[in-house]
Amino acid sequence: MCGIIGYIGPNDATPYLLEGLRRMEYRGYDSAGVALYNGTGLEIRRAAGKIAKLDAVLTAEPITGSPGIGHTRWATHGPPVERNAHPHMSGDGTVAVVHNGIIENSTVLRAALEGLGYVFKSDTDTEVLAHLIEELFEGRLEDAVVDALRRVEGTYGIAVISSKDPGKIVAARKGSPLLIGIGEGANFLASDASAILTHTRQVVYLNDGDVAVIEKDRYRVIDIDAQPQRRSVSRIEWDLSEIERGGYDHFMLKEIFEQPRSIENTMRGRLILEDGTAKLGGINLSHEQLMKIDNIVITACGTSWHSALIGELFLEELARIPTEVEYASEFRYRNPIVNERTLCIVISQSGETADTLAAMREAKRRGARTLGLVNVVGSTIAREDDGGVYLHAGPEIGVASTKAFTSQVIALALFTLKLARKRDLSVVRGREIAQALDALPALIEAALKGAPEVERIAEEFKDATNFLYLGRGYNFPAALEGALKLKEISYIHAEGYPAAEMKHGPIALIDEQMPVVFVAPHDSVFDKIVSNIQEVKARGGKTIVITSRDEPSLAGLMDHEIRIPETLDMLMPIVASVPLQLLAYYIAVKRGANVDQPRNLAKSVTVE
Ligand code: AGP
């Protein structure tokens, strides 16, 4: 959501902080700031808007020194104006704090601090931390931070520096990711590995409850009771080129076009064609445990929730296990039927989504085994699940998820194949699915060739104010995902619906102004969806039909046709996603929207 960066070392911190903030700008981007120790005291610079604004402020009024901390903000408390941008300073200017998350008891703490004479300058919950740490400071910054955090309710990833104990950055996490980057003669702190990757690949992921004391040539981790903690060092394996645009106008376009490779990477070494199954090293489920599963709950948010809907269909059709899909944000506030014979599959690109993480913890608390389908290696969900399947889709920078979605569906297909072959699925059918998966990258490549036609269609509909997306069976979740993509980045209202359900309400919306996207490949429900297309045409709606064959029954029903290659019914939503993503992308670009950083959204939603 927001981004945190810190540097401590022999050099001036500012360039490191700015570079890190730029690399994290995709995560949260309504304001930014830095604070440095300049040798005698703390100085801050902040600006509303993009990092370029902060850069301009720093050029006009430079500051130098070390250590330094920086932040990009995604507003929760108070509008995105300079006074609410982080870092926040304590009353006497000796403590500076950056914070991701929400301090839930900030109102009470604020009142108490105001009672002690502290004057608040911002509307944020974070400012209480700065004053509280100043109030509790008795000589060592880490002691004051620990003392302050004991009084705080809520979630946080924080970085703190103080002019009264200037040789360190103190960081702490509870519900918001942070890692230490280990450099040579210098150390880093970041909420996202991309922020420090040009300087080091050696990182220490902090756990919830950890407090880190980072000096230029060493670091240590303690817990909230000041007890030392051992944390292992991990190596970041991906490359910087993967988080650069590589000649594409936007990350989103690059990521759409990467899909033949990203899904190949999700499958690499996992498909066993001759046995019609999959090998998944990290699931940590024995044959007996797999056989004992009575029911499956899949929990996720947003795009990941859409892939879960496809997974539900896979698991019920092929493994014959009752499966339910739950919005992670709702899951823990009801009384779900989850026990030790339940497998809870948790899907998250970032591995940090607060709602999804909380749902996973709740499922564990109820005795379920958890299986994480996660893209970001070392993320919290990946570290806390009982077993997992990494997506290996590579870093996804565009806020609108594309390649992670298709890789999630692939991972679900692989897991289903493994489970189903143990339970109900014949080797013949297993082989057929494995071969179809193996052939998929080439089909995605072919679907991408349709980009120019999709762009022409986008030109015609770029000024539409509403869109309907309809699909049936496996392609209903694809329709939901197509609608989500469009609204996220173009700000056009779009709804996804099961095509046959349209006549029970949304059909009232159809008129000559209403574009309706049908995801209608030639599958087992094709004839059914043709009737739904007729219903729209009969009311003057404009149809954009994603289909896979020349079909006489479609003659005269398609205002626009987008042709995609065919595969098994269950894998069609993966292929159909390509034109759906491209349509959203081109419409958004033609409307002049900021595709990679759409308004109000953040890549990783770490608040509830
Ligand atoms: C996707 O385009 C969205 N930006 C959003 O719905 C996202 O899928 C959701 O926030 C869940 O994120 P996660 O997969 O990282 O958990």
Report pLDDT digits (tens) over 512-536.
999 999 999 999 999 999 999 999 9
Give the whole-angstrom CA distance, residue 134 versus residue 111. Answer: 16
Nearest CA to ligand 1 atom 16: 348
Q: Which atom of ligand 1 is nearest to the CA of 401?
A: 2
Check if 380 has its Cβ closer than 6 Å to any atom of ligand 1. Answer: no
- Could you list the active site residues? 2, 603
Nearest CA among 288, 293, 182, 287 for reference residue 235: 182
Full DSSP string of 377-413: TT-HHHHHSSEEEE-------SSS--HHHHHHHHHHH
Whether 386 and 262 map to the same domain: the answer is yes
pLDDT on residue 1: 62
With a 6 Å cutoff on the Cβ, whether 304 touches ligand 1 is yes
- Identify the helix (H) or strand (E) that includes residue 134: helix 127-136
Domain endpoint, select from 236, 259, 286: 236
Residues 179-221: tens digit of each pLDDT: 999 999 999 999 989 899 999 999 999 999 999 999 999 999 9
Q: Residue 601 C-alpha to ligand 1 middle, in angstroms?
A: 10
Q: Torsions phi, psi of 234, nearest 5? A: -115, 160
Is 350 found in the same domain as 250?
yes
Instruction: Note the pLDDT of residue 308.
Output: 98
- For residues 264 and 324, membership in a common domain is answered with yes
Segments forming the whole domain that contains residue 364: 243-448
Give me the mean pLDDT over the 13-19 stretch: 97
- Give CA 153 to chain center in angstroms: 25
CB 399 near ligand 1, within 6 Å:
yes
301 lines ligand 1 (CB under 6 A): yes
Look at residue 602 and tell me if it is in a domain: no
Tell me whether residue 599 is in a domain: no
Residue 399 CA: nearest ligand 1 atom is: 4
pLDDT on residue 66:
98
Structural domain includes residue 601: no
Ramachandran angles phi, psi of 282, nearest 5°: -95, 10
- The answer to whether residue 536 sits within a structural domain is yes
Class of residue 186 by CB neighbours under 10 A (exposed 0-12, middle 13-18, buried 19+) = buried
Average pLDDT over residues 540-559: 94
Q: Which of 401, 409, 412, 487 to mutate to test the pocket of ligand 1 (most atoms within 8 A of CB)?
A: 401
Domain co-membership, 318 together with 411: yes
Please give the pLDDT value at position 121: 95
Q: Do 138 and 214 belong to one domain? A: yes
pLDDT(27) > 70:
no
329 lines ligand 1 (CB under 6 A): no
d(CA 556, CA 558): 6
- From ligand 1's centre to the CA of 303, what distance in Å? 5
Q: Which two tokens stand for residue 4?
A: 């945190």
Please name which of 257, 61, 574, 294 lies closest in space to residue 34, comparing C-alpha atoms: 61
Pair (440, 470) in one structural domain = no
> Are the beta carbons of 578 and 326 closer than 8 angstroms?
no
Whether 482 and 423 share a structural domain:
no
Among candidate residues 401, 427, 448, the one where a domain is terminated = 448
**Atom nearest to 301 CA in ligand 1:** 11
Percentage of the residues of the chain whose pLDDT score is greater than 90:
86
Q: Is the pLDDT of residue 139 over 90?
A: yes
Pocket residue to mutate for ligand 1, from 176, 350, 481, most atoms within 8 A of Cβ: 350
Q: Please tell me whether residues 386 and 420 are part of one structural domain.
A: yes
Q: Is 356 in the pocket of ligand 1 (CB under 6 A)?
A: yes
Residue 93 backbone zone (phi > 0: left; psi -120 to 50: alpha; other: beta): left
Q: Are 404 and 552 contained in the same domain?
A: no
What's the whole-number average pLDDT of the chain? 94
Q: How many domains does the chain have?
A: 3
In a domain, 474, yes or no: yes
Secondary structure E strands in 191-320 = 202-205, 211-214, 219-222, 228-229, 234-235, 271-272, 277-278, 295-300
Which ligand 1 atom lies nearest to the CA of residue 603? 4
In a domain, 606, yes or no: no
Question: Tokens 């894998």 map to which residue?
Answer: 571
Same domain, 183 and 76: yes
pLDDT digits 0-9 by tens, 252-299: 999 999 999 999 999 999 999 999 999 999 999 999 999 999 999 999
- Residues 361 and 419 both lie in one domain: yes
Please check whether residue 107 is in contact with residue 64, taking contact to mean a CB–CB distance below 8 angstroms: no
Q: Are 27 and 99 in contact (CB under 8 A)?
A: no
In a domain, 598, yes or no: no
The CATH number covering residue 284 comes to 3.40.50.10490
- Cα(257) to centroid of ligand 1, in Å? 19
Range from 307-316, 375-384, 501-510 that averages highest in pLDDT? 307-316
Do 440 and 263 contact (CB within 8 A), yes or no?
Answer: yes
Query: By three-state DSSP, how is residue 553 classified?
Result: helix
pTM (2 decimals)? 0.83
Q: Give yes or no for residue 28 having a pLDDT over 60.
A: no
473 neighbors 527 (Cβ within 8 angstroms): no
Q: How far apart are the first and last CA of the chain?
A: 11
Query: What CA–CA distance (Å, rounded) separates 240 from 486?
Result: 29
In testing the pocket of ligand 1, which one of 74, 326, 347, 353 has its CB within 8 Å of the most ligand atoms? 353
Contact 554, 545 (CB under 8 A): yes
**Which SS3 state, helix, strand or coil, does residue 42 take?**
strand
User: Is 605's C-beta closer than 6 angstroms to any atom of ligand 1?
Assistant: yes
One domain, residues 281 and 151 = no
Taking the centre of ligand 1 as the mean of its atom positions, its distance from the CA of residue 600, in whole angstroms, is: 13
Could you say which of 204, 236, 268 is where a domain stops?
236
Q: Which residues contact residue 27 at a Cβ distance below 8 angstroms, ignoring those fewer than 6 apart?
A: 1, 2, 3, 72, 74, 191, 192, 602, 603, 604
Residue 604 domain-assigned? no
